[in-house]
């Protein structure tokens, strides 16, 4: 997407809504205004729209539509899964496990539970951000009841071995939550095979609307969450509140579109990331943060002796992220990159390029050339800091 003056390379922060999704939402809005909780004919029409959307999302993940709870997005799904799951299991044990490289929606919830008397173990990834399943297993105890590990990292694109981690949890009957906000609709996920109990997703990370997401809750014994919202009896009381029919329909359409093109999307992103990295890897002092085999939509790079905020300014008209979008208001270096062992300076110079469906080869070629030029310019301006 090249808006008039900018080149958008921030698809990991949010994506444009597919026009077919808007069409579907407008269609639903025209068909019925009724509250889906109403039992009259118009309310039943809203219920049918929602049931249809549940089938579309369920087909993408190979699950039963009844295992989905609609939420306002991945932040709420993460909060509900973690607080609700850990509290549901608390009578059996209060030890819970996650990583420092998780999204704030996860780490802040764990910090909150720690204040409630849960004991948290933060497992460390290796230098590329990958969690060694053996290190994960070593952190587990007899009283461990809950673990949360993300699928695709939002800053580095690192993909965790969810199958291995989930199998370890299954063996010990630990409730296993996966934040898949960056993975759903972008990499193949078969929940018929993957040993995952709870999985969070959100529409706006895969060409759907903002403000709608879902939590998958596996239909198996001991897998349940306590509500964090209270009100009407909607969604089996697990998440009350009037369902936003149009947004739910939009998320359903988003999932159906994604299901048909994941492999083509991945091939497109791989070509783009390869070209982008090829255009900048020879710059003096440039390093790739994360795993080269990670999700191809994200390329996170640091460069020696350059300050991140000045780099971001020099990079205009490229719209990219320093740290993560959620943290960029604070000047703190990314806690995710710090957890990979980067120094404050290295983390501060990090730029996250993220490409998407609309990104073109000329855009990434321009981006690579512009990044090279920006670094040369900054080094000329401040030659004394160049070692
Ligand atoms: C974007 C994101 C979230 C938050 O999702 P929202 O729908 O914006 O609340 C959570 N986790 C990850 C990994 C994300 O990328």
E strand intervals along 164-314? 175-179, 198-202, 213-217, 286-289, 298-303
Residues within 6 Å of ligand 1 by CB:
73-75, 78, 103, 105, 150, 154, 179, 181-182, 202, 205, 213
Specify the domain boundaries for CATH 3.90.1150.10 within the chain. 7-16+262-381
Mutating to test ligand 1, I would choose from 14, 72, 75, 208 the residue with most ligand atoms within 8 A of its C-beta, which is 75
Residue 41 CA to ligand 1 centre (angstroms)? 36
Where in the sequence of the chain do the CATH 3.40.640.10 domains occur?
19-259
Identify the pLDDT of residue 310. Answer: 87
Strand order of the β-sheet with 298-303 is 286-289, 298-303, 351-354
DSSP classification of residue 277: H
Ligand 1 centroid, distance to 383 Cα (angstroms): 39
Which fold, 7-16+262-381?
3.90.1150
Q: What is the dihedral of CA 208, 210, 211, 212, to 10 degrees?
A: 10
Q: Count CB neighbours of 40 within 10 A.
A: 9
Residue 328: what pLDDT?
52
Active site residues: 326
List of the chain residues with pLDDT < 50: 324-325, 386-387
Choices 3.30.1540.20, 3.40.50.2000, 3.90.25.10, 3.40.640.10: CATH for 19-259 = 3.40.640.10
Atom of ligand 1 nearest to the CA of 14: 1
Looking at residue 325, what is its pLDDT?
A: 46
What's the pLDDT score for residue 309?
Answer: 82
Question: Which residue's CA is the closest to the ligand 1 atom numbered 14?
Answer: 181
Question: What pTM value is reported for the model?
Answer: 0.96
- Nearest atom in ligand 1 to the alpha carbon of residue 105 is 10
pLDDT at residue 333 in the model? 85
DSSP 8-state symbol, 128: T
């Amino acid at each position: 997407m090249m808006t008039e003056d900018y080149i958008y390379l921030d698809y990991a922060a949010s994506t444009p809504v597919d026009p077919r999704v808007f069409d579907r939402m407008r269609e639903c809005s025209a068909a019925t205004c009724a509250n889906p909780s109403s039992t009259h004919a118009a309310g039943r029409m809203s219920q049918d729209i929602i049931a249809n959307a549940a089938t579309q999302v369920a087909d993408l993940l190979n699950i039963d539509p009844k295992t989905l709870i609609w939420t306002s997005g991945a932040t709420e799904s993460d909060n509900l899964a973690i607080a609700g799951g850990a509290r549901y299991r608390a009578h059996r044990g209060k030890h819970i496990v996650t990583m420092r490289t998780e999204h704030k929606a996860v780490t802040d919830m764990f910090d909150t539970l720690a204040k409630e008397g849960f004991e948290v173990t933060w497992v460390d990834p290796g230098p590329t951000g990958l969690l060694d399943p053996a290190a994960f297993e070593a952190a587990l105890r007899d009283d461990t009841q809950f673990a949360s590990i993300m699928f695709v990292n939002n800053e580095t694109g690192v993909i965790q071995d969810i199958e291995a981690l989930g199998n370890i949890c299954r063996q010990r009957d630990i409730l296993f939550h996966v934040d898949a906000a960056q993975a759903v609709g972008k990499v193949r996920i078969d929940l018929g095979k993957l040993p995952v109990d709870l999985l969070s997703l959100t529409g706006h990370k895969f060409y759907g609307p903002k403000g709608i997401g879902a939590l998958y809750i596996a239909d198996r014994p001991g897998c349940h969450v306590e509500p964090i919202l209270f009100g009407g009896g909607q969604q089996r009381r697990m998440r009350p509140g009037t369902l936003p029919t149009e947004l739910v329909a939009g998320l359903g359409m988003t999932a159906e579109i994604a299901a048909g093109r994941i492999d083509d999307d991945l091939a497109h992103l791989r070509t783009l990331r390869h070209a982008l990295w090829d255009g900048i890897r020879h710059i003096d002092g440039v390093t790739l943060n994360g795993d080269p085999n990670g999700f191809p939509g994200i390329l996170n790079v640091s460069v020696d002796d350059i300050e991140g905020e000045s780099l971001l300014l020099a990079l205009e008209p490229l719209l990219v992220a320093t740290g993560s979008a959620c943290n960029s208001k604070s000047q703190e270096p990314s806690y995710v990159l710090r957890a990979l062992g980067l120094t404050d300076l290295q983390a501060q110079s990090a730029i996250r390029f993220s490409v998407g469906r609309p990104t073109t080869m000329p855009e990434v070629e321009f981006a690579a050339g512009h990044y090279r030029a920006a670094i040369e310019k900054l080094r000329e301006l401040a030659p004394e800091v160049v070692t």
